[in-house]
């Protein structure tokens, strides 16, 4: 039987009331680009928080939660599995939370690992309103000191370059990294941010200068996969969906190409967030991390 009626359109970031309001504000920002740039910078560093959906609540209830001290305030760290089991780090993306990675927990435990997930600064149960990649790297260092080194790490979206930079600076220690839906560089993130909010070019230019003043003038070159990945020795599996509307798959392909020996797994139909719940993704990620131990065992034998 043929379907009748219109197919429901998927909501997008630009449909959110807050985003629609900001688009109007920034269109008016052409009249006062300096003031608009200050607002844009503030929005850029501010983390929106969203309610924890029911599908994540069982994982949250079954976790052992520690709050570890840091210069950024207490950081919420969740653990599942035996305390003596090898740990695997889980890191969410921007505006996410630790429990977003819940679908990896059972496969990791079944494979004999312990799952350790961080609420990054200003995310989840970790306090704060604003943060940046360098603060997240600092948080990863604190988690590594307390719970590492890790048998592997599984990171999503903005969590991938955060882990890469932490590995490069030897502030995170793990045998393998699974990077899901990774952005390629900070400039691309800025471009998408300005496109979503309809920020005029003059405001964007001033905003970029302000961010550079805050994080260092070389931040745009420093946060690039092709600057960091070639220096890493950890094997990597990059997973990206063909229909990711937030981070195009080309960025995943470029990430895999820049990382020596990296494997690329392309999925279809999962988008940017549902990919974290896809069995083919959770299975491939855990198998890739377990492969490190299998290889070592074969070499020893």
Express each pLDDT in 27-45 by its tens digit: 766 778 888 999 999 999 9
Report residue 236: phi and psi, to 5°. Answer: -135, 145
pLDDT for residue 151 is more than 80: yes
How many C-beta neighbours within 10 Å does residue 43 have? Answer: 19
pLDDT value at residue 13: 54
Q: What SS3 class is residue 50? A: coil
Exposed, middle or buried, 109 (CB in 10 Å: 0-12/13-18/19+)?
middle
- Average pLDDT of the chain? 90
Instruction: Judge whether residue 95 has pLDDT over 60.
Output: yes
How many CB atoms lie under 10 A from the CB of residue 295? 12
SS3 215: helix
| Bridge-based pairing state of the strands 75-80 and 64-68 | antiparallel
Residue with tokens 């797994």: 265
Model confidence band, residue 19 (pLDDT cutoffs 50, 70, 90): confident
The CATH number of the structural domain formed by 60-185+223-300 is 3.40.50.1820
pLDDT of 22: 81
Give the confidence band of 4 by pLDDT, cuts at 50, 70, 90: very low
Return the domain boundaries, the chain: 13-44+199-222, 60-185+223-300
């Amino acid at each position: 039987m043929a379907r009748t009626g219109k197919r429901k359109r998927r909501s997008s970031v630009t449909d959110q009331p807050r985003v629609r309001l900001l688009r109007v504000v920034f269109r008016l920002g052409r009249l006062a680009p300096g003031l608009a740039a200050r607002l844009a910078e503030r929005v850029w560093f501010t983390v929106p928080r969203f309610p924890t959906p029911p599908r994540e609540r069982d994982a949250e209830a079954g976790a052992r939660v520690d709050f570890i001290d840091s210069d950024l305030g207490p950081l919420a760290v969740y653990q599942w599995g035996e305390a003596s089991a090898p740990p695997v780090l889980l890191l969410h993306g921007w505006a996410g939370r630790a429990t977003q990675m819940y679908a990896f927990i059972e496969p990791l435990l079944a494979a004999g690992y312990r799952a350790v997930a961080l609420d990054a600064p200003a995310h989840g149960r970790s306090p704060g309103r604003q943060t940046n990649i360098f603060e997240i790297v600092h948080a990863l260092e604190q988690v590594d000191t307390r719970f590492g080194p890790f048998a592997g790490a599984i990171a999503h979206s903005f969590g991938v370059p955060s882990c890469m930079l932490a590995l490069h600076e030897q502030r995170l220690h793990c045998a393998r990294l699974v990077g899901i839906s990774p952005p390629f560089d900070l400039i691309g993130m800025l471009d998408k941010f300005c496109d979503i909010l309809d920020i005029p070019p003059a405001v964007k230019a001033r905003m970029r200068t302000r961010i550079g003043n805050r994080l260092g003038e070389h931040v745009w070159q420093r946060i690039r996969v092709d600057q960091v990945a070639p220096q890493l020795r950890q094997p990597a599996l990059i997973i990206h969906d063909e229909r990711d509307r937030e981070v195009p798959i080309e960025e995943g392909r470029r990430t895999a190409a820049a990382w020596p020996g990296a494997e690329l797994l392309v999925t279809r139909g999962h988008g940017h967030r549902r990919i974290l719940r896809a069995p083919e993704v959770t299975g491939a990620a855990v198998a890739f991390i377990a492969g490190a131990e299998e290889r070592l065992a074969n070499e020893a034998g």
